[in-house]
Chain A
């Protein structure tokens, strides 16, 4: 039995080590703890002196070695489809074909400026007054009608979609799911293979679309903001349109029902603007982009 538990503990403590590799070094660890669900805590850190001084092996490789799963895009897509279908079960699409085609065109153009043009990206506007946007593994991205109504230019829409594209490109949610698998398997002594039946797949992502309600680490949100600004700029849009949307969001009181979930799962817009300010500094001062407010598809009443 120890044979299985020890490597698992090692993998978990490696993944939780502050020096963990690139993808995980983004401070996602905090989010991972809560992703285990059921109050389960990550394994205690290895005692001092046992931490390897040599480069830490990629945490993902450790997960792969333990679970025996291949990190193919197919699995990410399967998990993503499940979550997207659940999310659509909570809020259907706005019944407006032109609108849905429009956000797919803007979204795809922005997404293709990133590092995962091989994905078949999907974008949609959900029929709810809540102000929010969601990124689902595999390239499913949704904005709510409540958020869409706040926008007044195509560049702003592009900025919002680009932030979500950033989450997918960096696999922020998918990494949380993968990590929860290791913890989940620890609780069941690696008894079963995961990813083969739907019940287990559903268990991995929590109930319904819980994963999108859970939120990521703040640093993942700041990273998505930085990427959102850059992907918008690469696509030819005004890179200040995303900060402009953040300034609109900052208008809301934190206890306003329509932004409750957004504020719970994201740093306050003021903090997001300050982080962008520090990161952008004068770097993009020479880059001028299009706002395209005339081009923006307005919602039917």
Chain B
């Protein structure tokens, strides 16, 4: 039965994935903003969005979303909320599936792993062995620099943001 559920879920995920890739992802405007012809501020304004307007998101490039509707163009990523439902109404089934859960919060996969709620945190007992294990994985400054170097990550000077 468990296996059957898993196969069903895997099948469902396979059906959903190609669509998620091709079709625009739903979103809506968090605030009024311009739709630009190119992904930068000085680009020509080709339209506008009002707060709450629905958009179809095709891809992200830096801080910009390429949108296909209501008009083709580019919008600042931070002006948009993703998902089709208004805040706090409905969970995205795709996200829920990806995390192994149904929209109701029911655990679909039977990994036997519990959640981590407030009550469990309050009554938790100190686990010294697990803490030692966690500490054993520490990376030194030098380790981290080597790791970043291999990935060609370079440290840069960037000022903190104002409030």
Are A and B genuine complex partners? yes
Interface residues on B, range: 35 or more
The reply to whether A256 and B103 contact each other, CB–CB distance below 8 Å, is: yes
The reply to whether A208 and B123 contact each other, CB–CB distance below 8 Å, is: yes
Q: Does A31 contact B (CB under 8 A)?
A: no
The reply to whether A108 and B140 contact each other, CB–CB distance below 8 Å, is: yes
Collect the chain B residues with CB atoms within 8 Å of residue A149's CB: 98-100
The reply to whether B158 and A284 contact each other, CB–CB distance below 8 Å, is: yes
The reply to whether A109 and B144 contact each other, CB–CB distance below 8 Å, is: yes
Name A87's contact: one of B90, B91, B101, B121 (CB within 8 Å).
B121
CA distance A197 to B88 in the complex (A): 45
CA distance A121 to B90 in the complex (A): 37
The reply to whether B156 and A234 contact each other, CB–CB distance below 8 Å, is: yes
Name A85's contact: one of B63, B131, B147, B155 (CB within 8 Å).
B131
Collect the chain A residues with CB atoms within 8 Å of residue B126's CB: 82, 85-86, 89
The reply to whether B99 and A131 contact each other, CB–CB distance below 8 Å, is: yes
Name A280's contact: one of B78, B127, B138 (CB within 8 Å).
B78
Name A288's contact: one of B62, B96, B120, B122 (CB within 8 Å).
B62
Collect the chain B residues with CB atoms within 8 Å of residue A84's CB: 131, 134
> Interface with B: A5-13, A41-49, A183-191, A247-255, which one?
A247-255
A-B contact pairs, 6 of them (CB 8 A): A88-B134, A93-B130, A93-B133, A105-B139, A107-B139, A235-B148
Q: Give B contacts to A, CB under 8 Å.
A: 30-31, 40-41, 60, 62-63, 76-83, 87-92, 95-96, 98-101, 103-105, 107, 111, 113-118, 120-128, 130-131, 133-135, 137-141, 143-145, 147-148, 151-163
